[in-house]
Structure 1
């Protein structure tokens, strides 16, 4: 097989992964590499066209590929044990992420918005902790093909990172790990952030419990404000009233049933509740159902 030089960081990661294995499946690449679906699929397809990846065996619906010389392989692909390699790969990846979280960043290619559309899209993705590709497309700020090119340019520049999965959908972020930590710290120090932190620590609590937590700070944390915040979060699906039978308002007891992370849900004036951890609106007053519970 001829020499090959990957074109970007994600391609380089995929190439290192498949070259470290005797055989692999597309599912293996998805599980161990951070590239998005379209980049991963297109790159593997391109490697196949270049004869750098070949189909080794097919077992039912599972296809085993190899980036090695097929003549050097033999036996049942399903019986090849790669557990030690998998464990080492996970360990190396975790070490890299810890280093990144400690502020040891990797050099990235320079990138700046080239058009007004790029600037609008950049402001959109930087306005929330994480997002899906479908969410960006739904804003209709640019034609779909331009949105795709925009996200691809961010990924090539190392500015678009995987932010996990939710209900099978991949999420991305345009923030570095250190930026996310600083953003979370700033939000946790706000009034709502401190109340939210107290809720997460207690899990089950009353208004009186929160008032005791902020005793001596009544000017900043009034009963009215705390009660209003709790009431709105209950409507948004974050809190549940655990009272039974006929009880007074003073004995209202909450249970935090939706803990999405350290960033506090923000109540807007409408009022609207937004969740910075998920980058979306989860409740609007007047709506009969909430997104938080669907």
Structure 2
């Protein structure tokens, strides 16, 4: 048995996180406290305070009184992904970009996914795209449209399980957790 970091939940355990806190912030844009956000979102105070410490240096929120805050820069529906210095977090952005590309393209190869998912800030390599496609295929998210011919062409896929906007996550134990449905999928299941 392996030890787990204290306080860390497995990815398949539902929890209240930054998105719910962000939605509560937007509802209370004119003024809020950690306590009012906790009541509105159901998140615990420590999680809320940690997130506020990320939003403040980015200028997303500003002080309003001694222990209050107000929204200074509404960045839309999706919770800003920021570190404690207020800088954007790019970890996981490659997977988000690959999933978005798969949802937009009718058919694709790993090379297509790599090209459509890379940005100046996030580079998605062909081996990374091939690995992600392979895992999604084994878990029933993709169908092979044209088989690969080694040294000639890559396989071509079509997305057949478009479960929502959040990318399915490959877990260390080689299974897929789908944050859109809360389901866990094992390789070989359809």
TM-score norm. by structure 2 comes to 0.49
Q: Could you say which structure has the greater relative contact order, defined with CA pairs below 8 angstroms and 6 or more residues apart?
A: 2
Structure with more of its chain in helix, by fraction: 1
